[in-house]
Structure 1
Amino acid sequence: MTLSRNHKQLRISNLCPMDLNFLLFIENIYECYHGGKEVFPGRYLISNDQELLDAESFNEIFHTCWYEIVKEFEQQHYMDNPFKTLHFRDCYKSLFRRDSEFHTAERVWNSFSLWWWSDYGIKAYMERYTDLFMPELAEQIWKGLYEKNIEMDDGSSLYVMLLFKQPAMLAPMSSKKLFYSTINNFVYKKDEVVSEIVDLFV
């Protein structure tokens, strides 16, 4: 969707980044083992905690991997084909013990992919649901920018980056190009989402 005012345009799109959601999937596994929480996907993907890093090492590598992926998104001027960058990254392996004989990273990736790509998977759910509300959301954003007399540069793009959960170990830093929202916030806190997006451009 493209919104215009005085020939200045802001292109607004929703995007479900597989890379970042996979990191959150892994984070949940660590939350189960190190945080003592019972969250999806639980512990069944890991045969024992010997496959896992200690909490401090995981946290450090998790941050590095996350911000490397975010930097790639930030550097893309247009993400008309966001799937072209989808691949199994080297940094995923570093999130588990490399001496594990169970090929943990690949096994977790395959399980996540089944959950992500199926016809009734999380990606389809997030896209189909948010697609319904994007026109209304974009209109509210345009109205907020108009009321605050905020001018947009030609060809500006904003991507609403949808996450299946709130990260526990980092705070996503939204920008004028990438705004991070959990699916729950998008569904139940639309006014807050609009306000936070408009404030990015102030």
Structure 2
Amino acid sequence: MPSPFFTRDLGAGYVLALLDESSVPAIHRLALTNRERLRRWEHWAHEEDLTEDGQRAYVRGLLAEWVEGRAVPCVILAGETVVGAAGARIDHYIGTADLDCWIDGEHEGRGAASRAVRTLIEMLFEEREVARVEIRTDVDNARSRALAQRLGFTHEGTLRSAKWVGEERRDVAVYGLLAETWAA
């Protein structure tokens, strides 16, 4: 069960909770279950050796960043079942944060990802006092692009050949949202 120290009710039976080491087996199983679907968008989904130990090391790194105030790593729960992950990395020096989110295919289209990202945005602007939040996504990821647009992000441009996905370089759409825009 994820950490009780940080949870946010997302409504419709979903909860955003701090990712912790107790979540590792569930998030690892979920990553393996969704691996084929996510290979189109995520470089990590192409790794041959996706192990629970590797996931645990990654989570420990994120939790160290959480303690330092540089990350907000979360899981999305449906009841007590992990159905996705959402998080932010924060650069306090320039006052920005980068958001990411993925959800189990069976929970796609139910609003859980939108609610999780909205909650993170509110937290980043109100509690972490960042001035700008970004979402970067593959130019062909229509669902992620629609999510950004629904939440009021502005498409600010495309970074050509900006990330690896498997053996291929992919273009990345950059969306930005300013604190004053969100407040309005």
Q: Which has the larger radius of gyration?
A: 1
TM-score w.r.t. the length of structure 1 is 0.26
| TM-score after normalising by structure 2 | 0.28
Q: Which has the higher helix share?
A: 1
Which structure carries more relative contact order (alpha carbon 8 Å, separation 6+)?
1
